[in-house]
Structure 1
Amino acid sequence: MSDFYALLGVPREATEVEIKKAYRKLAMEYHPDRNSAPESEARFKEITEAYEVLRDPQKRAAYDRYGKAGVAGGAGGFGFHHVDLSEALNIFMRDFGGMG
């Protein structure tokens, strides 16, 4: 998987607002209800995974310091896992309340 910042198209010093704005734009573009391309579901899950890490200050700090290993499950990690479609949709609904 790509760098989480690159997936969202934001610089490493992006603010929480910039990260949320970038995620919303990409999520709307790749949301399965709006995009029927075969790769859209995978892309939606990837950008949601990136957003979930970068929106949380502790997870983001661990990611910045250790990369994906810093947020992976196991000793010292945050127990983060890959997001499935259902979870990705729930995250989107939680933060944006629908298609806006």
Structure 2
Amino acid sequence: MTYVIAQPCVDLKDRACVDECPVDCIYEGKRMLYIHPDECVDCGACEPVCPVEAIFYEDDTPEEWKDYYTANVDFFDDLGSPGGAAKLGPVDKDHPMIAELPPQNQD
């Protein structure tokens, strides 16, 4: 099991969760943040600090955002397990599902 970042993060990327994560497993894509499923230790520190409530425990992800689990996992297909987001820095890509979305969370 792991945590998942869902739609409320798309085009927002608040990063409060990044500062709170003790294992540096939250990576930055072009339009949203992604939790590495193999690096996450399921501590839950990220969830309460997210100001837009975009982070869910895998089993608790709302039905309309269930596909975000796959987006979080597949984002790392070609990256592997870099061993920490800070070492890698922002990644100039997104999962195709995210890349194809119209602009989100714009006021």
Global fold match (TM > 0.5): no
Q: Which has the higher contact order (CA 8 A, sep 6+)?
A: 2
More helix by share: 1
Using the size of structure 1 for normalisation, the TM-score is 0.31
Normalised TM-score (structure 2): 0.30
Structure with more strand by fraction: 2
